[in-house]
Chains A and B, each alone.
Chain A
Amino acid sequence: MKYLNNSFVADIDSKSLSFFNEKQMNININKDLINEIKNIAFTKKINLRINLHSKSSDDFHNMIIFHWADSYIRPHKHLYKGETCHIIEGEQQIIILDENGQNIDNCNMSIENNIIYRITKNTYHTAYILSDYVIFHESKPGPYLGDEDSIFPEWAPIQEDNDSVKKFMNKVFAENI
């Protein structure tokens, strides 16, 4: 973890492994850092997030995110924020859902095509990872507002309910347009 140790500090408050650019250094991201992220993910079999901003109260957030294929991104929307996903490695489908959880739009993203996807605020969305894993750069306005901004609908099962999650994700993916 040479690069991560030199430039980032682990976020002890985060549910999953996460790092902050706490010293607010100017940061270069290259293949070495991506390989370090992959090494950690492969060794520990976990998802992780590298925040290029220094803290959750910053005005502008961008981060490098690693997700395994079986990750469940619980459908949600942001009341105040749009967000942008820029693919670095792998392939995922962004699925847009209506207020009742029906798949109303989707887009396969990869480095070859649809490399960037931006969603406006107030739009339910999830991601279905199509490759073994996906690495992407996400950017959005800060600060992090938690439940004030992020709305999780009742029809989206909670992470811990594995059977319901599997059924739900298979259903919305099968509804592909």
Chain B
Amino acid sequence: MSNSNSTIYNSADIFTLNSEKIEFLKNEAYKSKQKRFRYCLHHSNDHLTHEMIIVFHIDTLLIPHRHPFGRSESYHLIEGAMNVYFFDDSGEVIDAIKLEEKTGNTPFLYRMSSHTWHLPVPTSEFMVYHETLTGPFLDESDIEYPDWKNRYDSRKKINSLIDNIKIS
């Protein structure tokens, strides 16, 4: 297992996720400067499929982004809730979904197969999910940030997004 400030890479042949590990990851997210933590189940960035257990504390701030054409990703909620906002090229919201751990009929698993700007926003104190993504991730061209990213760069702006965009 290798470690950076907010990411751990698995090096074992077999990985299991239990409640003890989830609590450990939540604690690491809370302690981290960015209020999030990531456990990579793949061994290195050149793997063809990236699998991660990601924890967001509600205070974390993410940046709208998209991945190159042909990449797909899925989010499978384990604990808590999040909204995902989708934007056009000018930064206007074109769609939004709510994801929640399997309690009601809210979606708990989402797969995105399109080249769309998106922004995950945690809406519970802690949000734990399993992300899978087409790899490899070799350089900065594997993730793209828009010119208008500053429109969503504070808690106040994010709260305004949550308040103004109603999710059916």
Contacts and interface: CB of A to CB of B under 8 A. Distances in A.
Interface of A: 21, 24-32, 52-54, 58-60, 62, 64, 81-82, 84, 86, 88, 96, 105, 107, 109, 111-120, 123, 137, 139-141
Given A114-B17, A141-B47, 20 more contacts: A25-B113, A26-B116, A27-B111, A28-B97, A29-B110, A29-B111, A30-B105, A52-B111, A58-B72, A82-B49, A107-B14, A111-B102, A116-B15, A116-B16, A117-B14, A118-B15, A120-B43, A139-B49, A139-B74, A141-B48
Contact of A86 (B10, B47, B76, B135): B76
Contacts of B112: 26
A62 B111 contact: yes
Contacts of B72: 53, 58-60
Interface in B91-139: 97, 102, 104-114, 116, 130, 132-135
A105 B14 CA distance: 10
Contacts of A24: 113-114
A152 to B, nearest CB: 20
Interface of B: 10, 13-19, 41-43, 47-49, 51, 53, 70-72, 74, 76, 78, 97, 102, 104-114, 116, 130, 132-135
B14 A60 contact: no
Nearest to A112: B19
Contact of B13 (A53, A62, A119): A119
Contacts of B104: 31
